[in-house]
Amino acid sequence: MSSETRTDGNFEAGLSGASQKVAVFEERKGGLKRLQEWLHMTPSAVPMIVLLVAVAVFGLLSPNFFKAITISTILQQIAIVGILGCAQSLVILTAGIDLSVGAIAVFSSVLMGQITFRYGVPAPASILLGLGLGTLMGAANGWLVARVKLPPFIVTLGTWQIILAANYIFSANETIRSSAIAENAPALQFWGNSIEPGGVKVLYAVFLLIALVAILAYVLRHTAWGRHVYAVGDDPDAAELAGVRTGRVLIQVYALAGLFCAVAGWVMIGRFGSVSPSASTGQMGNIQAITAVVIGGISLFGGRGSIVGMFFGAMIVGVFEMGLKMVGTDPQWTFFLIGLLIILAVAVDQWIRKASA
Amino acid sequence: MDQKGIGMTQEPILKARGLVKRYGKVTALDRCDFDLMPGEILAVIGDNGAGKSSLIKALSGAVQPDAGEITLEGRRAQFASPLDARAQGIECVYQTLAMSPALSIADNMFMGRELRKPGIMGRWFRQLDRPAMEQFARDKLSELGLMTIQNINQAVETLSGGQRQGVAVARAAAFGSKVVILDEPTAALGVKESRRVLELIKDVRARGIPIILISHNMPHVFEVADRIHIHRLGRRLCVIRPDEYSMSDAVAFMTGAKLPDGVEEAA
């Protein structure tokens, strides 16, 4: 049955004398191409440039803009959105989205307050409980996404409503007054404390935000877990085959996002003084956080961007709000411009992706 | 020649008996047997839908068979995940390459088995040992002489198809201590790049590591394989030696146009 002549023959004989180079490309690098490649390597550069330009423009338009007090006010205002943005960044890096961040933050703050005042638990213990419960809410999101395999948008759209409703039901829509908290449980308001070097007030919450961003930047860049978060967002199937336990990473990411939201809830008590189940963060928090993330250059398709970019994104929103207020325009211009920035940021993201093509 | 295969003078390093895998009503593996001898290149060929991929996935831990058993070096093995199979020395280069396009070459090579810095930074702060990882990745790539890559931190998506394939093969060759599985390694490559990959496959065998090669490319299969496992209808039809049969025989066997001696078509 064997031995026809083997036909593999010498079809590769033509290779002798051919060039031995493998897949060398002619590189034609114009300035624009180089810019694109540089942005591909350093995704937080775009928001940083936008931020610097915005600061420069507002500085020219309003002489009061370059004052330490302005910077500290802006930082104060972005503290909560920035922390929610940390949570949102993690989730979006895995190509997910978390619409429940604001709801988890508000419910956690209500839990901390009510556990202290209704059940008489010492404030530090109820804070720990609140952080733990927030983490659990996030983990529930993660479990639904990773194990039940539902789309993150649907899961968190559902839990957003559920958590916000639970928040109203549990609190019976009661607000805990600021003075009562200051008297009985000052630990709840810890992040509202400030230092005042040279008369400029800087909230502890601002330091917390900066610390969280720094820690996350380190974790995402310099630990295996951080690389896995990117890999899961980039191509989950490839990550799984390459040996990443994608389900576990997803649950951890959503749980950690829940923890960050609970921290934001704690910061809210310090910032606003009181504990209110109807705080606007519950409705607006997720949109603000997503805005910061998108303007910060993190790709909604996952796997690209940096947490530092998110911080710049939150700063940009703060600078616009503050700057336009100081210039004295209609505040609607803020939203007008931020809307433009969002679209621009995503357009730039798409363009940068083509660097690889 | 018999259905159990040929050249069974020594114990197979990787052996499977009676593997069954069903997807709903489709039976992808139907009591399939498999043997890989130490130090050989075993090609697996078969028509589309014959169940080659399911076999490879079962051997590399990507799917868990419904029935049957796998033994590695004579010991019963169960692979709950690719990570599990990898921990036991089986490396696989998937057709899709399983690389994260936005991450660097070094990151991709070490995905799932990253090196941590020694001492406090590694143990307590879990810091990656980037310099060591980059050095290792660079060494492996240049050792294989597969390509010239200037920057080991360049994102995989900026590489050409052949370069990506090279990185994936280098990853498997670098870490595969017992078995290396290659799924269609030359399918996306040009003639010259295919040649490099084939040389690479021989290099890996020369180091004593057995290789399972899945390919549709008959000249490549007949050039490098020591034995050829022909897969048909979810099971092993026969195993042939490339010097005893022609390519057209092999194609006839795998498409069912002809039956090898002593084998009756399964119903």
- B264 belongs to a structural domain: no
Residues 22-81 of chain B whose Cβ lies under 8 A from any Cβ of chain A = 62, 81
Q: Which of A4, A11, A356 sits opposite B158 (nearest CB)?
A: A356
Report which of A169, A202, A161 is spatially closest to residue A77, judged by C-alpha positions.
A202
Using a pLDDT cut of 70, give the percent of chain B over it: 92
pLDDT score at A180: 92
- A65 belongs to a structural domain: yes
- Provide the residue range defining the domain that includes B41: 14-255
pLDDT score at B150: 66
B8 pLDDT more than 60? no
Q: In chain A, what's the furthest Cα-to-Cα distance? A: 97
- For residue A237, list chain B residues with Cβ-Cβ distance below 8 A: 96, 98
Residue A169 has a CB neighbour count (10 Å cut-off) of 10
Residues 174-203 of chain B whose Cβ lies under 8 A from any Cβ of chain A = 190-193, 195-196
- For residue B155, list chain A residues with Cβ-Cβ distance below 8 A: 40, 356
What DSSP string runs through A186-235?
GGGGGGG-EE-GGG--EEHHHHHHHHHHHHHHHHHHHSHHHHHHHHHHH-
Place of tokens 């064997």: A2
Going from the first residue of chain A to its last (357 residues), give the mean pLDDT of each consecutive group of 10, the final group possibly shorter.
Answer: 48 62 54 78 84 90 85 90 96 96 96 94 95 97 96 96 95 92 91 86 93 96 94 92 91 97 96 91 89 92 91 92 86 87 87 69
- A9 belongs to a structural domain: no
- A333 belongs to a structural domain: yes
- B85 belongs to a structural domain: yes
Are A241 and B92 a contacting pair at CB < 8 A? yes
Give the CATH number of the domain where residue B110 resides: 3.40.50.300
- A275 belongs to a structural domain: yes
- For residue A234, list chain B residues with Cβ-Cβ distance below 8 A: 100-103
- A7 belongs to a structural domain: no
pLDDT score at A1: 43
Q: How far does A328 lie from chain B, in Å, by closest CA? A: 43
Report which of B202, B197, B238 is spatially closest to residue B217, judged by C-alpha positions.
B197
- B2 belongs to a structural domain: no
B1 pLDDT more than 80? no
Q: Per residue in B193-248, pLDDT tens?
A: 788 788 888 888 888 889 999 988 899 999 999 999 999 888 898 999 998 998 88
The tally of domains found in chain B comes to 1
Given CB atoms, is A235 within the 8 Å cutoff of chain B?
A: yes
- A23 belongs to a structural domain: no
- A35 belongs to a structural domain: no
Q: In the structure, how many helices (H) and strands (E) does chain B have?
A: 9, 10
The confidence band for B5, taking pLDDT boundaries of 50, 70 and 90, is very low
The tally of domains found in chain A comes to 1
Given CB atoms, is A2 within the 8 Å cutoff of chain B?
A: yes
Under 8 Å CB pairs connecting chains A and B tally to 130
Q: In the structure, how many helices (H) and strands (E) does chain A have?
A: 14, 2
Task: Give the separation between CA B258 and CA B266, rounded to whole angstroms.
Answer: 13
Mean pLDDT of B60-79: 89
Give the CATH number of the domain where residue A275 resides: 1.10.3470
Q: Per residue in B127-161, pLDDT tens?
A: 888 888 988 888 888 777 655 666 788 888 888 77
Q: How far does B234 lie from chain A, in Å, by closest CA? A: 23
Q: Amino acid identity of B204?
A: V
- B261 belongs to a structural domain: no
- A61 belongs to a structural domain: yes
- Provide the residue range defining the domain that includes A68: 45-348
Q: Per residue in B25-51, pLDDT tens?
A: 888 899 999 999 999 999 999 888 888
pLDDT score at B48: 84
